Structure 1
Amino acid sequence: MSTIRELDPSASPLDYFGAELRRLREAANLNQKQLGAIIYCTGSLIGQIETARKVPTRPFAERVDAALGTGGALSRLVPLVLRSQLPPWFQQYAEMEARATYISTFQMQLAYGLLQTEEYARAVLGADWPRNLDELVAARMERQRILQRENAPLIWVVLSEAVLYQEIGGREVMRNQLAHLLSYREAEWVQIQVLPFSAGAHAGLMGSFNLLRFDDDPDIAYTEGYETGHPSANPQDVKARSLRYDHLQAAALSVEESAELIARVLEERYGEQAEPGGRTLA
C-alpha cells in the first residue's frame, strides 16, 4: 500500500482541490474505491486527484458534488484549478477575460479561443506537443463558460479570411469549427465579421490583439507573442488599438455578409451546405 501523500492546500489550487476532495470523502466515511464506484470511476483516479497528480475535470467534480451532497463546493473550485494549468504568462489575461463585460478581438490565423470547438482547440494547443494537453484543452473549454453566464460579455470578433482556409486538425475538424462559428449567427452577444482578402493592406497587419472593457476598471489592450502575453492599461495604447480595431471593423464584411462567406467556404471547401439558421447538412 502506497504512502498517502500529504498536501499543502495553500501550495496551489490543484493541491487545495485534492485536499478538499479527501476531506469531503473521509467526512462521508467512504474510501477511494467506494467513492469511485458511486461516481463510476476507479479508486485509483480518486487517489491521483486527491494527491494532486491528476487534474479534475468539471464532470468529475459535478459527480462528486452530487454523490457527497457538497452543494457544488468542488465544482466551484474547478475554474481556479483549470486556470492554474494555463501558462503562467496567460493566467493574468484569463482572469481579466472572466471579468470583462465587452471583448473585441482581431484574429489573423486562428478562430478566437472562446469560439473554438474542443477538437480545433486540441489541434491548436497540440501543435507544440505539450505534456499537459488534456489539461490545456479542458482549461480552454472552461474559459468558454463565460458565454453561458446570465451576464455574458458582449464579444465582437474580426477574423482574417485566412482563418477560414487554414486547415487546423483536418477537414472534419474545420467543418465542425466553421459550423460552430455559424451557430452564433443569431446570438446577440457574439458578433463575427470576416476581413476579406480583398481588403489588401489593413490595420491588423502587425498581428492579432484583444481589447477588454470592464464596468469598474480601466480598459485593457492585450497582445500575445511567443510564450508571452502583453496586457496594457496605458490609455494611449488602448486608444491606439481601439482606433486600429475601428478601421478593421470598417474594412471587414458585415456580420451577415461574413456569415454568408463562412457558409460558402464550409460548403465549397469542406463539403457541407449550411442552412439559413446556421445548421449544416452533410
Structure 2
Amino acid sequence: MTAYLMNRNSGSRLGTRRAAPPALVLVGHGSRDPRALSTVRTLMERIRELRPGLPVQLGHIELNEPLLPDTLAALGTGDAVLVPLLLSRGHHVKRDIPEAAAASSARVRIAGPLGPHPLLVETLYERLVEAGWRAPDVVERRTSAVVLAAAGSRDPDAAVDTRRTAGLLAHRLGVPVVPAYASAATPTVTDAVRALAARGRSRIAVASYFTAPGRFATECTTAAPGLASAPLGAHPAMAHLALHRYDQAMAPTLAATA
C-alpha cells in the first residue's frame, strides 16, 4: 500500500504513470431474485461514474456469481477495499467477509457496513416519498408511524445499528419509527404494525431497509397495511456512501504516509 502511495506521489511530480488505486470490491449478500444482481450492477456503474479510474468489482457472499473468494482470487496479490453492501453489523460482517479476506492472497482492507449513516436515512426518506408518503400535518402526526423493515440478525449489534437508523429516520419524518425484521429477530413487520395500530397509529407506512429487492423485502412489503417503499437500491446516495466507506478504510494508510 505504501509503495502505491509513493508511486502515486512520484508519478504526479515526475510524470511517470500513476498506479491504479486499490480496487473497491462491493460485497453483496446474494439473492435468487434476479432484480438484486441487476440493482447491484447499476450501483457499480454509478460508483464508476462518480470516481473514474477507480477499479470497482463485485463479490457475493452466497447465491450469486461472482462469489467473493473468486473475486479476491482474480486480484492475485493486488490491493482492495471490501465494502459490504450490508446495513448493520452481524455474522457476515464479523465472520464471513474477514474469513474470505484472510484466505486470499490479495492485500485487503475491510470497510464498515453501510449503516447506520445519514445518507441511508435520506435514501429511506426519498423512497418513502416516491411511494406516496407526504409530511403529516399536526393532526396526522398523532396517528402516523413508520415500520423500518430490516432483514434481521441474531447478533445484538445488528439490532443496535437498526434502532439507530430508526431513530434518525424518526427525527427526519417527525413520527415514530419502529424497527421490525424479516427473520432471526423480533418484532416481525406484522407484529409491529399491530402494536402501532393498538396505540392509535392508523396511518402506517413500511420503509424497506434492504439494499436490493429479494425475498425478505417482498415479504415485508406484502405485510404492509398500505404504503410501502422500495428497497434502497441504486439510489445516488448509496453510491456516495459506498465511496465514503472506501475512503474511510483508506484513511489510516493515507495518514500514515502523509
TM normalised by structure 2 equals 0.31
RCO greater where, 1 or 2, for CA within 8 Å and sep 6 or more? 2
TM normalised by structure 1 equals 0.29
